[in-house]
Amino acid sequence: LAVNASSHSGRKMSDTLFGVFFEEINHAGAGGLWAELVSNRGFEAGGPNTPSNIDPWSIIGNDSTIFVTTDRTSCFERNKVALRMEVLCGNEGSIICPVGGVGIYNPGYWGMNIEDGKQYKVVLYVRTLAAIKLSVSLASTDGLQNLASSIITTAELNTSNWTKVELLFTAKGSNAQSRLQLTTSNQGIIWFDQISVMPVDTYKGHGFRKELFAMVANLKPRFLRFPGGCFVEGEWLRNAFRWKETMVSWEERSGHFGDVWMYWTDDGLGYYEFLQLAEDLGASAVWVVNNAMESGVVPDSVVIVFNNNDVVGWRWRRATTMDTLDSIEFARGSPNSTWGLLRAAMGHPEPFELKYVAVGNEDCGKKNYRGNYLKFYYAIKAAYPDIKIITNCDGSSSPLDHPADMYDFHIYTSSNNLFSMSKQFDHTSRSGPKAFVSEYAVTGSDAGKGSLLAALGEAGFLMGLERNSDVVEMASYAPLFVNDNDRRWNPDAIVFNSWQQYGTPSYWVQQFFKESSGAIYFPSTIQANSSGSLISSAIVWENTEDNNKNIKIKIVNVGSNTVNLKISITGLQETINSSQSSITVLTSSNVMDENSFGAPNKVFPVENSLSNAGTEMNIVISPHS
Ligand code: AHR
């Protein structure tokens, strides 16, 4: 392996080469990164008509002791559904309530993780017509382990009107399968709405589950693409993500059913929270917007298909355009602007860094995409000339027929294919817009739920992107997260449940690239019998923490043979300090090996010191590594 590290052969790679793509898929946000523990906190998931399904809320008691339904009496105008609980037992002359009372419980997202000594903020809205003693508790699934509880006497609270109750619990035990219980032994009627349990200990208090946030932050992402994916548009327009619906306090958010990935989200993770997430990660926000467009020249009668199933007219598209301009003003406008003022009121007077807007997702082939896109493009450019606009149409093999700063490129394929696609951008025109590989992954039987084989194909592909980083500006793996209880898409980078998390081999591959953004790329060539199974890349970057210059050589071997490689580095100005050098290897005994909760580090990068590091060194490359 010859690495040419002379200064004239180096090329700086894009500062934003590697980032992350967050989509609300697999309960990535609701029941994942967003730390809210109650699922369906406003009882809206069953739809706006009542009586409705209250899933996953369940009833404690039976037909003779309790009657639970929903009605539309909430104090929140945007989400009128409230839960009505009629307790039939308890008073003199009536049935005696069971020990512990009757009521409702919420199991969260496949169990709430309650941890000993940690604090939880519980909020609920209550209304009763008579005095009722209500027990609010965090308990084990069988209700026997009481982890934290409080008694509220509704008469004291004068709850004939809606009253907000706030409690701060400190857990006196741990249980990853806990639930929130609201119980009473008093006869009467009680209404509930907007019930929340939030751990106090979230990242900077911003609501992000700390361990999951840390796993993303460890990738050092330079951008955050959000909130989808197909989630942005939905199968039906009524189920699309609407950022303005999230511009209110959490209690007032209507939530929505994501009909592509088929689950309800209370929209705690809204547009503001996504922008905050990008900022907390030190990443530039890439806002993917629904692409319906106003067209002044299209007559009223003309309809345009833009969602998967809906057909809409131009008036609606005009509203969507204005919506998008408003969303940019919300992120970047001064606190004197309409939307900037709201951002300031929500706690962020300084603008967020929003530099990229993607117009739609995978919509290029759809009728009228180009027309919609152009209206969008010119409207945004007129108001915000510096915003980089990303089209859904692939410009890697033929020139685009419309203006764009970048084009989306998505690829899901086999390991072999992706490995050979390391050459995908070798012949792409250098004069057009740049590529944004916003979704890539090995999928199908090569990948399972996240195999070493998949990760090796991806590693080869990423090295090709590094080599072509003069034309590839950004790249992100997809999907980022999966809650193991709701696998809508396999594989994924980070797997979690209510209390555990681990990285798949694909996650660990991305760790090898975390210094690449903005680094200097140097050409390297491999001469070997099995060179078709090998690919390499060499980068130099300066560590801002210790001002040390580092050289990193990455090699992928997708073959089944061990390779003895002699590495020669020419042209390097600096000397290599072998005592500070290391070799990190990601491999496993079987190429189909995966990580799991039981064996989270089965396929894991192992680092050792490299005492023979220098401009000439012999390295043994393991098979499938
Ligand atoms: O990453 C999963 C899905 O794959 C995305 O929602 C979509 O853009 C693509 O089809």
- Over the stretch 25-37, which tens digit does the pLDDT of each residue have? 999 999 999 999 9
Provide DSSP, 7-47. Answer: GGG-EEPPTTSB-EE--S-TTSTBTTTB----SSTTS-TT-
Per the document, the length of the chain is 625
Whether 300 shows a pLDDT value over 50: the answer reads no
Whether 302 shows a pLDDT value over 70: the answer reads no
The pLDDT confidence band at residue 534, using thresholds 50, 70 and 90, is very high
Q: Cα of 187 to ligand 1 centre, how many Å?
A: 50
Q: Give 314-360 pLDDT, tens digit per residue.
A: 556 666 778 999 999 999 999 999 999 999 999 999 999 999 999 99
Cα–Cα distance between 150 and 183 in angstroms, integer?
11
The response to whether residue 439 sits with its C-beta less than 6 Å from ligand 1 reads yes
Whether 306 shows a pLDDT value over 70: the answer reads no
Whether 313 shows a pLDDT value over 90: the answer reads no
Angle at 536 between CA 535 and CA 537, to 5 degrees: 140
Query: In testing the pocket of ligand 1, which one of 263, 289, 361, 488 has its CB within 8 Å of the most ligand atoms?
Result: 361
Cα–Cα distance between 490 and 479 in angstroms, integer?
8
Which pLDDT score, from 0 to 100, does residue 547 have? 85
Which atom of ligand 1 is nearest the CA belonging to 489? 2
The response to whether residue 228 sits with its C-beta less than 6 Å from ligand 1 reads yes
Q: Which residue did the predictor score with more confidence, 188 or 531?
A: 188
Q: Cα of 259 to ligand 1 centre, how many Å?
A: 13
Whether 309 shows a pLDDT value over 70: the answer reads no
Which pLDDT score, from 0 to 100, does residue 130 have? 84
Whether 199 shows a pLDDT value over 80: the answer reads yes
Tokens linked to 260: 């592509």
Report for 37-51, 153-167, 356-370, 538-552: range of highest mean pLDDT: 37-51
Query: In testing the pocket of ligand 1, which one of 239, 410, 437, 443 has its CB within 8 Å of the most ligand atoms?
Result: 410
Which pLDDT score, from 0 to 100, does residue 438 have? 98
Alpha helices by DSSP H, listed for 240-313, are 271-281
Whether 195 shows a pLDDT value over 80: the answer reads yes
Which atom of ligand 1 is nearest the CA belonging to 439? 1
Which atom of ligand 1 is nearest the CA belonging to 361? 8
> Lowest-confidence range among 122-136, 313-327, 393-407?
313-327
Which atom of ligand 1 is nearest the CA belonging to 230? 6
The response to whether residue 236 sits with its C-beta less than 6 Å from ligand 1 reads no
Which atom of ligand 1 is nearest the CA belonging to 229? 6
* Average pLDDT value for the chain: 94
Which pLDDT score, from 0 to 100, does residue 201 have? 98
Q: Cα of 478 to ligand 1 centre, how many Å?
A: 7
Q: Cα of 425 to ligand 1 centre, how many Å?
A: 21
> Lowest-confidence range among 273-287, 304-318, 399-413, 606-620?
304-318
The response to whether residue 23 sits with its C-beta less than 6 Å from ligand 1 reads yes
Which pLDDT score, from 0 to 100, does residue 129 have? 86
Which pLDDT score, from 0 to 100, does residue 158 have? 66
Query: In testing the pocket of ligand 1, which one of 225, 230, 259 has its CB within 8 Å of the most ligand atoms?
Result: 230
The response to whether residue 470 sits with its C-beta less than 6 Å from ligand 1 reads no
Among residues 472, 406, 393, which one has the least CA distance to residue 433?
A: 406
Is the separation of the CB atoms in 6 and 20 below 8 Å?
no
Q: Cα of 436 to ligand 1 centre, how many Å?
A: 14
The response to whether residue 489 sits with its C-beta less than 6 Å from ligand 1 reads yes
Which pLDDT score, from 0 to 100, does residue 155 have? 72
Q: Cα of 411 to ligand 1 centre, how many Å?
A: 10
| CATH, domain 20-33+202-511, list 3.40.640.10, 3.40.1170.10, 3.40.50.2000, 3.20.20.80 | 3.20.20.80
Atom 6, ligand 1: residue with shortest CA distance:
229
Query: In testing the pocket of ligand 1, which one of 20, 24, 25, 226 has its CB within 8 Å of the most ligand atoms?
Result: 25
Among residues 20, 88, 104, 177, which one has the least CA distance to residue 513?
A: 20
Atom 7, ligand 1: residue with shortest CA distance:
229
DSSP class of residue 594? B
Q: Which stretch of DSSP H or E encloses residue 487?
A: none
Whether 381 shows a pLDDT value over 80: the answer reads yes
Q: Cα of 261 to ligand 1 centre, how many Å?
A: 10
Angle at 131 between CA 128 and CA 133, to 5 degrees: 95
The response to whether residue 230 sits with its C-beta less than 6 Å from ligand 1 reads yes
The response to whether residue 361 sits with its C-beta less than 6 Å from ligand 1 reads yes
Cα–Cα distance between 517 and 450 in angstroms, integer?
25
Tell how strand 549-557 and strand 534-542 pair up. antiparallel
Q: Give 585-596 pLDDT, tens digit per residue.
A: 999 999 999 999
**To the nearest whole percent, how much of the chain has pLDDT over 90?**
87
Which pLDDT score, from 0 to 100, does residue 368 have? 81
- Kindly state the average pLDDT of the residues 589-613: 98
The response to whether residue 130 sits with its C-beta less than 6 Å from ligand 1 reads no
Which pLDDT score, from 0 to 100, does residue 305 have? 45
Fold of 2-12+520-621: Immunoglobulin-like (2.60.40)
Whether 311 shows a pLDDT value over 70: the answer reads no
Phi, psi values for residue 461, rounded to 5°: -60, -45
Which pLDDT score, from 0 to 100, does residue 530 have? 79
The response to whether residue 379 sits with its C-beta less than 6 Å from ligand 1 reads no
Phi, psi values for residue 161, rounded to 5°: -110, 165
- 600: Cβ contacts below 8 Å, ≥ 6 apart: 500, 502, 503
- The SS3 call for residue 71 is strand
Is the separation of the CB atoms in 480 and 32 below 8 Å?
no
The response to whether residue 229 sits with its C-beta less than 6 Å from ligand 1 reads yes
Atom 8, ligand 1: residue with shortest CA distance:
229
Which residue ranges make up each domain of the chain? 2-12+520-621, 20-33+202-511, 58-199
Residue type, 73: T
Whether 544 shows a pLDDT value over 50: the answer reads yes
Which pLDDT score, from 0 to 100, does residue 319 have? 67
**To the nearest whole percent, how much of the chain has pLDDT over 70?**
95
The response to whether residue 362 sits with its C-beta less than 6 Å from ligand 1 reads yes
Spatial strand order in the sheet of 163-170: 66-71, 82-87, 188-199, 119-128, 163-170
The response to whether residue 479 sits with its C-beta less than 6 Å from ligand 1 reads yes
> Lowest-confidence range among 62-76, 157-171, 374-388, 559-573?
157-171
| Predicted-complex ipTM score | 0.99
The pLDDT confidence band at residue 299, using thresholds 50, 70 and 90, is very low
Q: Which residue did the predictor score with more confidence, 312 or 224?
A: 224
Distance of CA 10 to the CA centre of its chain: 34
Cα–Cα distance between 374 and 193 in angstroms, integer?
44
Q: Burial of 359 by CB count in 10 Å (0-12 exposed, 13-18 middle, 19+ buried)?
A: buried
Cα–Cα distance between 2 and 522 in angstroms, integer?
10
Dihedral of alpha carbons 151, 157, 163, 164, sign: negative
| CATH, domain 58-199, list 2.130.10.30, 3.40.50.300, 3.90.800.10, 2.60.120.260 | 2.60.120.260
Cα–Cα distance between 138 and 179 in angstroms, integer?
6
Tokens linked to 56: 């996953």
- The SS3 call for residue 168 is strand
Query: In testing the pocket of ligand 1, which one of 263, 476, 488, 489 has its CB within 8 Å of the most ligand atoms?
Result: 489
